[in-house]
Structure formats: C-alpha cells, structure tokens
Chain A
Amino acid sequence: NAGVTQTPKFQVLKTGQSMTLQCAQDMNHEYMSWYRQDPGMGLRLIHYSVGAGITDQGEVPNGYNVSRSTTEDFPLRLLSAAPSQTSVYFCASSYSIKNRVYGYTFGSGTRLTVV
C-alpha cells in the first residue's frame, strides 16, 4: 500500500514548456485534489475531483488542467509554464462516508521551478 505517489519529485522547466505532474493513489479514495504551496501562502487549492469523470476548479486554477479518467490517477497539466508557477505541488486523496470527506492523505510533493 503506497498511499499517494507523486512524480517527479523535482522538475525545472523553461518558460512556455508544458508538462504533467503525476499523482496516483492505491486506497480507492473518491476525492483527489491538487494544491500548490508558496512561502507564506499556505496550501492553495488548484483543482479537485469528487470521483472519476468529475473535476472542478479550486482557488487558483488558471494555467492548469486536470482530468480524472480513473479513480486512481489525477494528473495535473501545465500547458505553458510561467515563472509564477514555481512552487511546491501537493496531491491529496480522501475517502468519504455519506458524502462527507474524512481527512486527506498527501503525497510527498513535486518541487517545480520555472526559469
């Protein structure tokens, strides 16, 4: 049982490049989310999903796309990287009971630098 796995752990991109941050969980959790963490800003929600085939925008969705074709995977795509997207990205998943979410299990993060 690996929990939430994020890849890569580190990435450097040039401005304008695209890439996909991978996130996979093996706990059969319905809920999955992507957060970014900048110094002094806490965790800000980018996109989230309450189940396969369902995604929605969080607080800071611009510049990012997501899809949820399976329960296990929730990739985050940067279409055209910008220096403002330099951050640490965390993926998280959670189970729910009767439509109420319980806690979150986080991945170890992807540190992205855009130059």
Chain B
Amino acid sequence: GESVGLHLPTLSVQEGDNSIINCAYSNSASDYFIWYKQESGKGPQFIIDIRSNMDKRQGQRVTVLLNKTVKHLSLQIAATQPGDSAVYFCAEPQSSMNRDDKIIFGKGTRLHILP
C-alpha cells in the first residue's frame, strides 16, 4: 500500500552546516506533506508543510523541496544548531471518499549535531 518512508535512520551534521533530510513517497496522487520535529521525551511538533502545487516552501531556517517527478521531498535546515537535534518525520494525509481522514508517518530520521 501507499507509504511514506525516509532514506536514512540517522544523520550526523556539524554545527553550523546545513542539514538535508530526505523522504520518499509512493502514492503519485499525494498532494500534501508535512514535516514534524520530535525532541526527546516530547510529542512531534509541526515544522512546515507543502502542497503539490508548490515545488518549494520556506520557513524560518527551514526549506522543504518537493519533486513530484521522482516522488521525493526533502527538509533542509540552514546553519544547524544544537537545538535542531531531534527526530524528523515526514507525513502525509490519506484520503477516502474525497476526504482526508488520517495522517500516516514515516519512521523518522534522527539528526545528530556534532560540535
């Protein structure tokens, strides 16, 4: 069935460098994606979302890129800081009868910041 997955379970990045976290999806009809950040011991927090009518969306220090041709999206974090250490999930709503009903998450990528 359709799924949202992540390429790497762990990513280590030097403090100050840019981080890129990737995500693949299988349903070509998917048109909305969400990125979440989960810090240790906390619930996931919404970071940024993107609809399929866009290729790129920017937030504060974060950018999400969507490549519909290869069904791939990425989350870029600029100038990575120690506070960015977390697990990052991509997620997508799934629909039935022309209505979103649930959000399915990928397994997550753990971002380690090296001093």
- Chain A residues engaging chain B, CB cutoff 8 angstroms: 4, 31, 33, 35, 40-45, 48, 50, 56, 58-59, 90, 92, 94, 96, 99-109
Q: Are B102 and A33 in contact (CB under 8 A)?
A: yes
Residues of A within 8 A of B107 (CB): 40-42
Q: Which residues of B contact A101 (CB under 8 A)?
A: 93, 100-101, 103
Residue of B nearest to A6 (CB): B43
Given contact pairs A31-B101, A42-B105, A104-B103, a sample of 13 additional A-B residue pairs in the complex whose CB atoms are under 8 Å apart = A31-B100, A40-B9, A42-B106, A43-B44, A45-B103, A48-B101, A50-B101, A56-B102, A90-B44, A104-B36, A106-B43, A106-B45, A107-B43
Chain B residues within 8 Å of chain A by Cβ, number: 24
Question: What DSSP secondary structure best describes chain A's contact surface?
Answer: strand
The answer to whether A100 and B100 touch (CB under 8 A), given A106-B44, A108-B42, is yes
For residues 19 through 56 of chain B, which have their beta carbon under 8 Å from a beta carbon of chain A? 32, 34, 36, 42-46, 49
Residue contacts A-B, CB under 8 angstroms, 17 given: A4-B43, A35-B105, A42-B89, A42-B107, A43-B44, A44-B105, A45-B102, A45-B103, A45-B104, A48-B101, A56-B102, A59-B104, A90-B44, A99-B99, A101-B100, A103-B34, A103-B49
Q: Quick one: which of B80-109 are within 8 Å of A by CB?
A: 89, 91, 93, 98-108
Closest B residue to A91 by beta carbon equals: B43
Contacts of B98 in A (CB 8 A): 99
Q: In the complex the two chains form, is B89's CB within 8 Å of A43's CB? A: yes
B102/A103 in contact, CB under 8 A = no
Given A40-B107, A42-B107, A90-B44; A99-B100 close (CB under 8 Å): yes
